[in-house]
Structure 1
Amino acid sequence: MSSQDYMNTSMQEPPLDYSFRSIHVIPDLLSEEPRPGLRPLRHSKSGKPLTQSLWLNNNVLNELRDFKQVLSQLLEHPENLAWIDLSFNDLTSIDPVLTTLFNLSVLYLHGNSIQRLGEVNKLAILPRLRSLTLHGNPIEEEKGYSRPVTSQSTRVLWSCLSRSLQPRVQAGTMSPAIALAFLPLVVTLLVRYRHHFRLLVRAVLLRSLRDCLSGLRIEERAFSYVLTHGLPGDPGHILTTLDHWSSHCEYLSHMGPVKGQILTRLVEEKAPSCVLELGTYCGYSTLLIARALPAGSRLLTVERDPRTAAVAEKLIRLAGFDERTVELIVGSSEEVIPRLRTQYQLNRADVVLLTHRPRCYLRDLQLLEAHALLPAGATVLADHVVFPGAPRFLQYAKSCGRYRCRLHHTGLPDFPAIKDGIAQLTYSGPG
């Protein structure tokens, strides 16, 4: 395989994941089995994984001795390593071996024991480094950490963060007279839609800014918070921790406790043998369903984004649910639904939860009907049918004659003034 072919292949490959393995020294990687991913890793002819990502987070490493030698035995082209996650270890410094990986673009070092801000200087020679995380280290207490203009170390840190921001040149300006004419309209809209504006700021603008500055998605930041504050094996406490994170830290766009009560009550009443969820996201609604299932029941949950699915799977396993109870499938719902019967042995879904994309609800409902996955009496719950809305889905459910429809009126979590709702459909059969 040529170097260019390798680059094209490995960029799409899942990471080599040694997280949560209690690894003390790097040579232990050679005797430790990596965690099975949601997608299998491809290997070269020599049997080494074709990937540019290595996850060593949540171990007990305090040094990286023999790192390069071990990499050469683990990876086909270790010099092309682009993403290393060393977060939540016991590292006290930035090992010089990291500065020899000139293709490194993402480096997670948050949650370690790095004490000197000057350690960041070592990374200045990495030309492609664009995402660097250092929060949760003792260096946060060092003067100048939060003001990246006072020293060489902080300038290096700021340059790593700013590479992903790519400022745009302003194309033109509006004249003051025109701007003043629109001012009353703008004020009126801001007053009338102030709750939507707050939602836009919290869910889009602030989230995008934090994503750029931290190098982490909001789901990954929420999971780090759960690891610190949640009780492993207690799904109820983990759900409460996520609610607290969303209310007091960053808006998570999850189902929330009010809608969660509707979902939990329905699952407890139906006592389904099998539940299908389309749209796992961070795993919040998955935990709600799983803890309400009767013994021996099964939940299949589908998430199209592999990175989000990786976080959700960790959260589900942290809550204590194994793959026999909760099976997470990575892929688009349109591709997964036709394979549910043959590949995942799902003959019928007594309860279906739609939480992915409202514009896909109608398509997926009709796919479930076409593949005879809905038995008579099955319940379909669809979230967000009012905001942002799924009008074609609701119109079809009410007019096709195969469903009894009920709409549970709610508000968005943390934004009760923004009206939303959950549609509950009861399937009467194909006739």
Structure 2
Amino acid sequence: MVEFWASVTDLISEEPRTGLRPLRHSKSGKSLTQALWLNNNVLNELKDFNQVISQLLEYPGNLAWIDLSFNDLTSIDPVLTTFFNLSVLYLHGNSIQRLGEVNKLAILPRLRSLTLHGNPIEEEKGYRTQVGTMSPAIALAFLPLVVTLLVRYRHHFRLLVRSVLLRSLRDCLSELRIEERAFSYVLTHALPGDPGHILTTLDHWSSHCEYLSHMGPVKGQILMRLVEEKAPACVLELGTYCAYSTLLIARALPAGSRLLTIEQDPRTAVVAEKLIRLAGFDERTVELIVGSTEEVIPRLRTQYQLSRADLVVLAHRPRCYLRDLQLLEAHALMPAGATVLADHVLFPGAPRFLQYAKSCGRYRCRLHHTGLPDFPAIKDGLVQLTYAGPG
């Protein structure tokens, strides 16, 4: 006999439906998911929705997909408008009667897919002409929100234009990547053998020519002070990119210290290698490894003779920070007292990494608040972790 949920509270006592992939859980037993399927039940209201999913999900605020199709909902509960990461909402096959109900969803900035077919609102006069992918009435409801977002996030919009749209256009026209164009500029304007002048030239290129998405001088000062303070014997950098942070580290290293830097993209690595050598650093000081961090980290001890990294700099993809930090722990590559410095933890952000660092009990955390280079209004930060050793 199939049982249907008549109340949201029924979720607490029911086992989740099995899917193609097994559901992951946190240490507290809560589900680690961004999707919630409540379809094909007899729900007619969403009373206690927030309280229930807080008991079931580790990060309820991350919900991006909610399926409430084929229930008995007569209206759109305001609770759905509190999930600002929501991008997909299925409401087809319910009992929603007023098209105006949909206007409540105008507050959701990331909502891109909404289904309404199979509701009584289909019988409302003008529904067929008003609703295609989105009716003009709904579009008008979204207009004030769009204007507000454009004003509030104008700096993000400028960043999008400079770092994505214009960059893609120039990549297409020049048949060169931005890193390669930046290197050509450095060759023309910078002094070989002078890492400080090369860094200044890259900053000038990013500010006046094309936005480079590099660490920049403000964060760079924090990194250099940390290297000078810790005087590490060996530094491991994950994510070389255009070698900006690599040159900062190498410049501040004490004599005899070593820097290993890993870059996944071979084409980017070629440019980075040229910049490193142009600055005057040889392979004994700075060794560039081409490959994915997931594959290289387990081979660091045997293939690259790295027994310990006193300082680890994470500057690649924030979504990979947690995985790579746990790999470093698993292979015992960080001694007690080692420092980990991670960039872009607030923008675009690394929430799972930060949550782990704060809750696992093996790190002391310090957050350095900064802005993006050339976009100081966009808040970002570097997090500095001090490793206490295995728990």
Q: Give the TM-score, by structure 2 length.
A: 0.65
Q: Which runs of 5+ in 2 are unaligned?
A: none
Q: Deviations over 1:76-99 (max 9, x none)?
A: 999999999999999999999999
Q: Which deviations, in whole Å up to 9, do the C-alpha atoms of 1:231-288 show, x marking residues without a partner? A: 0000000000000000000000000000000000000011111000000000000000
Name the SS of the counterpart of 2:283 in structure 1: coil
The answer to whether the Cα contact below 8 Å between 2:371 and 2:379 also exists between their aligned partners in 1 is: yes
Residue 184 of structure 1: how far off its partner (Å): 2.2
For residue 337 of structure 1, the aligned residue among 288, 291, 297 is 297
- State the match for 1:316 in structure 2: 276
Name the CA shift for 1:99/1:348 in 2 (closer, same or farther; >3 Å): closer
Q: Alpha carbons of 1:238 and 1:187: their partners in 2 closer, same or farther (altered >3 Å)?
A: same
Aligned residues of 1:133 and 1:215 also touching (Cα < 8 A): no
Deviation track 1:128-154 (CA, whole Å, cap 9, x = no partner) reads 999999999999999999xxxxxxxxx
Q: Which has the larger radius of gyration?
A: 2
**2-structure distance, mates of 1:340, 1:169:** 63
Whole-Å separation in 2 of the counterparts to 1:183 and 1:309: 44
* In 2, Cα distance between equivalents of 1:343 and 1:309: 19
Task: Give yes or no for contact 1:131–1:214 (8 Å, CA) kept in 2.
Answer: no
Deviations 1:196-230 (A, max 9, x none): 10110001111011101110100000000000000
State the 1:183 CA deviation: 2.8
Q: Secondary structure at the match of 2:134?
A: coil
- Please give the alpha-carbon distance, in whole angstroms, between the structure 2 residues aligned to 1:64 and 1:365: 40
Instruction: Compute the displacement of 1:187 (Å).
Output: 1.1
Gaps of 5+ in 1: 1-18, 146-167
- Counterpart CA distance in 2 for 1:174 and 1:94 is 17
Alignment CA distance shift 1:332-1:58 (3 Å):
farther
Post-superposition shift, 1:121? 57
Q: Provide Cα deviations, 1:55-103, integer angstroms capped at 9, x if missing partner.
A: 9999999999999999999999999999999999999999999999999
SS at match of 1:169: helix
Alignment check: 8 A CA contact 1:88 1:112 kept: yes
Identical positions, percent: 91
Q: Which moved more, 1:407-416 or 1:95-104?
A: 95-104
More displaced 10-residue stretch of structure 1: 43-52 or 345-354: 43-52
Give the number of aligned pairs. Answer: 388
Task: Provide the C-alpha distance between the structure 2 equivalents of 1:136 and 1:256, rounded to a whole number of angstroms.
Answer: 53
Q: Distance in 2 between matches of 1:327 and 1:61?
A: 60
2:323 aligned counterpart, secondary structure: helix
For the 8 Å contact 2:106–2:142, the answer to whether it is kept is no
Q: d(CA) in 2 for partners of 1:121 and 1:77?
A: 26
- Sort the Cα spacing of 1:288 and 1:179 in 2 relative to 1 into closer, same or farther, 3 A: same
Indicate how the Cα distance of structure 1 residues 192 and 105 shifts in structure 2: closer, same or farther if over 3 A, else same. Answer: closer
Counterpart CA distance in 1 for 2:176 and 2:118 is: 14
TM-score, normalised with respect to structure 1: 0.59
Q: Is the 8 A contact 2:106 2:141 kept in 1?
A: no
Measured on the aligned residues, the alpha-carbon RMSD in Å equals 20.0
Structure 1 218/321 Cα, relative in aligned 2: closer, same or farther at 3 Å? Answer: same
In structure 2, the CA distance between the partners of 1:353 and 1:104, relative to structure 1 (3 Å rule), is: closer
CA 217–295 in structure 1, closer or farther in 2 if over 3 Å, else same: same
State how far apart, in whole Å, the 1-side matches of 2:278 and 2:299 are.
28
- Aligned partners of 1:248 and 1:262: how far apart in 2? 23
Contact kept, 8 Å, 1:407 with 1:424, in 2: the verdict is: yes
Moved over 6 A (4+): 19-22, 26-145, 168-178
Find the aligned partners of 1:132 and 1:174 in 2 and give their Cα distance. 9
